[in-house]
Amino acid sequence: MEQGRIELGRVILAEERLLEDESLWSDDENADHSGWFCVRTNPFPCPANGCTFVAVFMTAAHLILVWEQRDDPNLLHHAQRAKEVGRNPRIEAYEQSFGPSASYYAWEAAGGPVHGVRAS
């Protein structure tokens, strides 16, 4: 292999274990994001090993990501990414009946926590 050239590869973990104290991140529980915008998608399973959660919105740690503006560049970027992988994204006004939500920017400021990270 030439030095500096990136190629596809595989990683084999000697042992796989979930973090013992893993807990899902949450945004401000009292925040009402009604009227903000989210991205509805075709159903897709949580990628965490053994998790049975199926999302129908763009989520992080099982929370629906929301943006204040319909034309927010990050909302549009994530909707485009969902389109590229065949998830049929649709931007909609968020309603509390959809499920728990988190501001995209609060999630990003928290370091972009995800569900199901394996211990190294």
pTM comes to: 0.71
C-alpha closest to that of 85 among 49, 107, 65, 58: 58
Mean pLDDT score across all residues of the chain:
79
In angstroms, rounded to a whole number, what is the distance separating the alpha carbons of residues 61 and 107? 9
In angstroms, rounded to a whole number, what is the distance separating the alpha carbons of residues 99 and 33? 11
Percentage, residues of the chain above pLDDT 70: 70
28-57 pLDDT tens trace: 556 789 999 999 999 999 888 888 989 999
Total length of the chain: 120
pLDDT tier at 22, thresholds 50, 70, 90 = very low
Note whether 96 and 31 are within 8 A (CB). Answer: no
Out of 13-17, 71-75, 96-100, 114-118, which region has the weakest mean confidence (pLDDT)?
13-17
Note whether 31 and 58 are within 8 A (CB). Answer: no
User: Does the pLDDT of residue 11 top 90, yes or no?
Assistant: no
User: Does the pLDDT of residue 14 top 90, yes or no?
Assistant: no
Alpha carbon 37 to its chain's center: 15
pLDDT tier at 4, thresholds 50, 70, 90 = low
Note whether 61 and 97 are within 8 A (CB). Answer: no
User: Does the pLDDT of residue 15 top 60, yes or no?
Assistant: no
